Amino acid sequence: MKSHIKEFWDKKIIGWEQDKYERQKKIDVNVSLKERLKIAGRILQSGLVGSKIVELGCGSGRLLPIIAKLPHIHYVGIDVSPVAIAEAQKRAKELGIEERVNLIAGSIVDHSFEKVDLVFSLGLLDWLSDEEMNLMIKNVRAPHFFHSFSEQRPSLSQFLHRLYVFSFYGHKDPSYVPRYYTDEEMFGLLRGENVKFYRSKKLSFGTFCYDLPFDLETI
C-alpha cells in the first residue's frame, strides 16, 4: 500500500462523513451515499446474514447504532485511518457495545479474517487497485458479501463527480483518486460466482454487488 494513503484518510475521513451524512443542505447532493448506508442497515437487520460480520473500510462506524440493536452480532471493523478507528471506538463505547465490537486500524491488504458469515464494504472498492482487490478477496472468505462501488456510466452526475474529485484533491495527486468499474470488471474481479448487482435511481451511479440469501430488490 502507498504510504501516504493513511495520511490522506486521516485528514479527510471525519470531515467527509460529516459533510455527506450530517450537513443539511437545500439541495442534497448526497442522497446516494445516505441511501447506500440505509440499504446496508436493512441487510444487517434482515437477520439472515449470520452473526460474525466484517466491515472493510468502516470509517467511523456509522453502522454501529444498528449493530447496537442486534445483540447476536459480533462486528469487526477495519480501516486504514487510525483517526476513523478512534472515532468508531468512541461510538462503540457510547453505545455500550465494546465487548462485541472489534475495531482494527490497518489496511485490508495486511489482515485476514476467518470464520466470517458476512463481509461488506461501502465506498472502499473505489479506492483499491486490482491487486488490492485480489488480496481483499483472498484475505476474507465468507459465504455472503455485499460491496458498493461506483459504476462507470456516461451520466451528468458522474461527470460532476469526476470534476469534484479533480478540483478538490485529484489535481494534487492524480495517482490516488477513486475509480469507476464496469459490471464486467467487477464480475471478473469477484470471479463471477453467484454475484448479483443492485442499482436504483436513488443510488445514482452507486451499485451494489452481492451474494446474499435474498435479492436486494426485496428489502
Binding ligand SAM (rule: CB under 6 A), the pick from 53, 84, 135, 203 is: 84
Q: Which is nearer to ligand SAM, 28 or 184 (CB)?
A: 28
Q: Is 187 in the site for ligand SAM (CB under 6 A)?
A: no
User: Nine-digit cell at 185?
Assistant: 470488471
Q: Is 64 in the site for ligand SAM (CB under 6 A)?
A: no
Q: Is 78 in the site for ligand SAM (CB under 6 A)?
A: yes
Q: Is 123 in the site for ligand SAM (CB under 6 A)?
A: yes
Residue 150's nearest CA partner among 197, 194, 106, 193 is: 197
Binding ligand SAM (rule: CB under 6 A), the pick from 32, 59, 66, 146 is: 59
**Nearest-approach distance from CB 42 to ligand SAM, in angstroms:** 15
* Number of amino acids touching ligand SAM (CB under 6 A): 21
- The DSSP result for 57-100, as a single string, is S-TTTTTHHHHHT-TT-EEEEEES-HHHHHHHHHHHHHHT-GGG
Residue 37's nearest CA partner among 18, 15, 63 is: 63
Q: Which is nearer to ligand SAM, 123 or 210 (CB)?
A: 123
**Nearest-approach distance from CB 174 to ligand SAM, in angstroms:** 17
Residue 186's nearest CA partner among 201, 208, 212 is: 208
Interacting residues with ligand SAM between 5 and 24 (CB under 6 A): 5, 9, 13, 17
Q: Is 81 in the site for ligand SAM (CB under 6 A)?
A: yes
Q: Which is nearer to ligand SAM, 81 or 89 (CB)?
A: 81
DSSP 147: E
Instruction: Identify whether the C-beta of residue 43 lies closer than 8 Å to the C-beta of residue 146.
Output: yes
Output the CA torsion sign for 171, 136, 189, 74: negative
Q: Which is nearer to ligand SAM, 49 or 59 (CB)?
A: 59
Residue with cell 469507476: 180
150/83 Cα distance (integer angstroms): 25
Q: Is 180 in the site for ligand SAM (CB under 6 A)?
A: no
Strands 206-211 vs 196-198: parallel, antiparallel or unpaired = antiparallel
**Contact track, ligand SAM, 92-111, x by CB under 6 A:** ---------------xxx--
Site residues (vs ligand SAM, CB under 6 A):
1, 5, 9, 13, 17, 57-59, 62, 78-81, 84, 107-109, 122-124, 127
